[in-house]
Amino acid sequence: MKHALASAAWRCGLTRRPARDGRAVVLAYHRVTAQRDRRPGMSVHPDTFEQQVGFLASTYRVLPAAQVAEAVSTGRPLPQGAACITFDDGWRDNYTEAWPILQRAGLTAEIYVVTGHVGTDRLLWTYAIPNGLDPHRAGALKRLPSKERAVALGNTAAATKAGERVFLSWDEMAEMLAGGVSFGAHTHTHPILTNEPPDVVDAELAACRRALMHGLGVEPLGFAYPNGDHNQAVRAAVRTAGFRYAWAASGGRCGPTSDPYAIYRLVVHEGAVRAANGRPSLAVFALMLSPLARLLPSL
Ligand SMILES: [Zn+2]
């Protein structure tokens, strides 16, 4: 159904132009790498990314994240075809793979950094949950407050060693910042904030904010919730910490009626844009960005 609709809509041009509904598409990427990531849903291949960026550059109007968020906050209509590119976690391949592609296309992006991992070879704690673990057990582990999870998982240091540096360094970020990329916060250690007590939430937000201000010399305006999880208390803490806007991890297209502390994004990964033949497809990507995607809630 998804593939048939994607190719039909693409063939007749429906998804090859942006909808005129005053809404924006905000894309959430993680890694851009040819290597196979251990966790599903974390990466796109550089060739796939290049194709998608080419489509965005020729079809959409890619704006800085702060500009889209400001329009949402003030209820101002967004320009037709507004789009925005974001990355979560701060992976090193955002510099080595994604940035050259963005530069060639003349586009910008905003990257949400887990400041406790900057410049390290330590993968996020989610990588310590063994692949193939019963999904209920894996889900229960993810929902534990970080202190209890550390006990349940034992020593995660070995399981999360990547063997090479996998996160951006401050120097790389400074170079990208000078080149027009902006940076926001994604906590200090990537806990799922809805599982944490208020003092841990506040400490994570403050540590991340402080590190970004110290490391880059600019105040981070935006925040992205780890795992996309938020509730009223977490949204209020993010606002109180001084952030002007915050992104959820999914939900669809965003517009002037969106909550500026829970702005929808569309999570892009290799598995989400495959055609029936298993290869990444621009028609499936274009459908994902279109209001037609609402016809397919599973997208
Ligand atoms: Zn994340």
Q: Residue 299 — pLDDT band, cuts 50, 70, 90?
A: very low
Report CA(190)–ligand 1 centroid distance (Å). Answer: 6
CA of 155 to the centre of ligand 1 (A): 21
pTM of the model: 0.94
Q: How far is the CA of 142 from the centre of ligand 1 (A)?
A: 13
CA of 115 to the centre of ligand 1 (A): 11
Q: For residues 74 and 156, which has the higher predicted lDDT (pLDDT)?
A: 74
Q: Which range scores top for mean pLDDT: 102-111, 121-130, 278-287?
A: 102-111
* The pLDDT value given to residue 262: 94
Q: What is the C-alpha to C-alpha distance for residues 126 and 133, in angstroms, rounded to an integer? A: 12
Calculate how far, in angstroms, residue 124's C-alpha sits from the geometric centre of ligand 1: 8
Cα(172) to centroid of ligand 1, in Å? 19
pLDDT confidence tier of residue 126, bands split at 50, 70 and 90: confident
CA of 279 to the centre of ligand 1 (A): 26
CB atoms within 10 A of CB 198: 12
Cα 249 to middle of ligand 1, angstroms: 9
Distance in Å, CA 255 to ligand 1 centroid: 23
Domains of the chain by range and CATH? 2-124+160-295 (3.20.20.370)
Instruction: Tell which phi-psi region holds residue 31, choosing left (phi > 0), alpha (psi between -120 and 50) or beta.
Output: beta
Contact predicate 43/30, CB 8 Å: yes
* Average pLDDT of the chain to the nearest whole number: 91
Name the 3-class secondary structure at 130.
Answer: coil
